[in-house]
Structures are given as structure tokens and as C-alpha cells.
Structure 1
Amino acid sequence: MPPTVTRLPLLGLLLPLLAGCSAWSTHAGGLREPDVSLAGLSLKDPNPLRPTFRVRLRVDNPNDLDIRLDGADVDLALNGQPVATGVSRSPLILKKLATSEMTVDLTADAFGAVRQLLTLRSRPALDYRVTGDMIWHDGFGPFGRLPLSFGGSVDRATLLRAAGSLAE
């Protein structure tokens, strides 16, 4: 028998598998980024040189499929300057068309944060930006990263009230 004839059954089995993979990657390519916002903030470790904050993130999944996350890498910038970074390795399933919460511990560079907080003497508000990636897991291992980015501004009075509640 010629070698090409014996390979035909193998090729017949492989083609549907490859078609399935391409359909999955097409579906995955249409994945919309989850909307992420701040849900809560608390002081976890009051170490004066490297304080750790527990940040709760609200994650809205706009997709029509569940997304399994294996954690997140997150950075915080104040007034455009990086001041804290952290990771979460807690698995989370974002239910389709639903809201979930993720907790991330951020360790701050106290000196950098204080420098930015001191700018409140000359500015009415503090600008913040949270960026990073959520690690997408497909059941076999990491599948990719979903970027997250949100920010805003906190006025002086709100920040002072929050600082008072963190100290309690």
C-alpha cells in the first residue's frame, strides 16, 4: 500500500480536531474584557515601611460564557507614579453576564505613597490608576491574560475619612 493511503485515516481524524481548535480560538478572540472597579479597601499589615492593603475588585463579565481565572497581577499608581503592586493566586470563576469579586493584596512603597499624598497640600484631589492582568485558565492551564485598567480621582476630604477608618 502506498504510504499516503495509510495516512488518510489519520488525517481524517486530525482535521475535525483542528477545526474544533480553530473554532475555540475564534470564540476566544471575540472575548470582551471584563469591567473592573474598586469594591473595597482595608489595611492588612500596617508595617510603616511596606504597608499591605487588601483590595476588593468588582469584576463584571460582559461575555456569554464563564471565565475561569487563576489570579491577577495588579499595580497601583498615584498621580501617575507607581506606589504599590500585588498578586492574587486565588482561583475565581466569573459567571457569564454576572458580577464577581476578587481580592488582591497590594504592598505599597510607603515613601512613594507619602510623596504622592503630600501633593494633596497643593491639589484638591489625588488621581489613581489600577492596571494589571487577570490570568485566564482554561482547565488545562493558563490560557492567556485579560487586561484590567481603571482609575479615578479621590478628593481630599474623602481620602481623610478613609484614612481615619483604616486606622481604626
Structure 2
Amino acid sequence: MHDYKSLLSLGDYKEDSYYIDLSTGDLKKSVAHKASTSKIFLSSIIGYHVLGFGLFKSVESNVVLSIVLLLVSFVLSIIAAIMFNKRLYKNTEFEKVELTKDEYEEFRKQVKKYNKTIVLLIILFIGMFFISMHLYLSTPSIFLLLVMDYVIFSFYLLYTNGFFTKRFCFEKYINKKI
């Protein structure tokens, strides 16, 4: 059984999602699709906030309540990310992939391109978080809370799935039979 600790996602290449099996160093591709990040986030976090719409009127006028709600929503975002990580590779089948040297070079370039996208996404997330935090502390709103929750959720997933560490030096985890 695979989980986020044993597989490192390298992104899509030629219509398939590719992973490195960290225990064996094999390059694998998924045969079945994994769960959507946005579906799990929406079902767990937005449902919580919809329940809180009626309560939010009193939160807007009370600074202490707005900060407590902010902290509780951060904890719920991390819990949602933990649940997502547990279900991430459930019912997903993988098969080992052998690439030629040329295919591997093209694949490596594609992963490097995705890495640049991830860096830009991280910068965007940091900006979104600080702007939303500043605005939320001055005028609390459900929308700003959702933005910050999504950023916390995404950062937790990126960190625990090796996107800040292993992904940028993925070649050292691959068997060098290619």
C-alpha cells in the first residue's frame, strides 16, 4: 500500500501522473486517478464555514472571537490536509516505468518546468496569506478566512509530500538504470 510518505509526485508527463517510489527508487506512473485536492478541501473546510455564516455577525464585532475563529480554522485546515494525505493514494494503482535516455531527459525537463511553477505558486501563496491576514485582522470576513485556510491546507500538503525538499533533487532518489 502506497502513501504520501512512500511516493513522491513528479507531475504529469504525456497524459500520465508520474511518481518516484522512495523505497525502491523506481519511476512509476498511476493507472487510476487519485483524489482531487480541491474536492477534499471544499468538502471539509467550506462545509465548516457554511455552518458558521450565522455566527459570523458576532465575530465581526469582536476581535478576540475573530482571532479564535482564525486559529480554529487553521487547525481545521491542517486536519483536512492530514485526512487528504491519508486518502491521497487510496485505490490508485501504479506500474513501473522504464524510459529511454532521451525520454528521461525530456521527462526531467518537464519536472524542472513544474518545479518553477511550484516556486511561483509558493510565492503567490505567501503573498495571498499575508494580504489576507492583514485584511482579516482589520475587517474579518468568511472569504478571507477561506483564502487563508486554503493556503495553510496547500502549504501543509506541499511540505508533507516533499515538494519543498525531495522534489527539487528528485534525481538522487531514482535508480540509475536509465
When normalised by structure 1's length, the TM-score is 0.26
User: Which of the pair has more CA radius of gyration?
Assistant: 1
Question: If each structure's strand is expressed as a fraction of its own residues, which one has the higher value?
Answer: 1
Larger RCO (CA within 8 A; separation ≥ 6) = 2
**Greater fraction of residues in helix:** 2
